[in-house]
Amino acid sequence: MKKILILTLCFLMCFITLTPTAFAKCSHKNTKWETLQEATCTKAGKRVKLCTKCGKSLKTERIKKKNHTLKRYIKKATCTSNGLNWERCSRCNYTHILNKIPAKGHAFGVTHYGASCTAPEMTIKTCERCGKKETTTKGKPIGHKWGKWQLVSVNASGVRNYRTCVRCGLKQYKNSRYKLKIRGVVNQINWNRILKA
């Protein structure tokens, strides 16, 4: 019996020492907003008002969706590829094509070269915008038209001659070695001595 009495007294003391606020209803004066789902450019978000004291959810609100933040971009058209004019959202990368710009095509300037000694007749088309070149040839090279051989020098090693193409001015050189057989021995001619004599 003593045990029951002591236990009852302890229980009463604990019950009396508890403050009445522990059993009082929360007034929800201190609150904060928590975001449950962020708003995006295409979807609304959600947030909730919570009591910081008891943690009770007091109110739920919808967060308005954000509008796209669009920035305009232009890819210029080239001679062979189309261009593009578009907008892109900096938040969600949504892309909206405004219009396509058609390819410009080549703007060729033409240069014509007649046939030469080493090259056939040639037409070169060069695009003024992109620099692309197209070359067409016609016929064959006309070849060199050589003039007469001219003497350049005469010395112990031989004779040096040249001739010139009358069309392109190219010079062609030729060396000749002259040898005489005297008493079974091969000697080179000393042309300088012969010419001075």
pTM beyond 0.75, yes or no: no
- Chunked into runs of 10 residues, the chain (197 residues) has average pLDDT values of 66 58 71 89 90 87 89 92 92 90 91 90 92 91 89 77 90 74 44 45
With 0-12 / 13-18 / 19 or more C-beta atoms within 10 angstroms meaning exposed / middle / buried, residue 88 is middle
pLDDT tens-digit profile of 148-196? 988 887 776 778 888 999 988 899 888 877 654 444 444 444 444 444 4
Which ranges of the chain would DSSP assign to H, the alpha helix?
A: 2-17, 191-196
Could you tell me how far CA 188 lies from the centroid of its own chain?
68
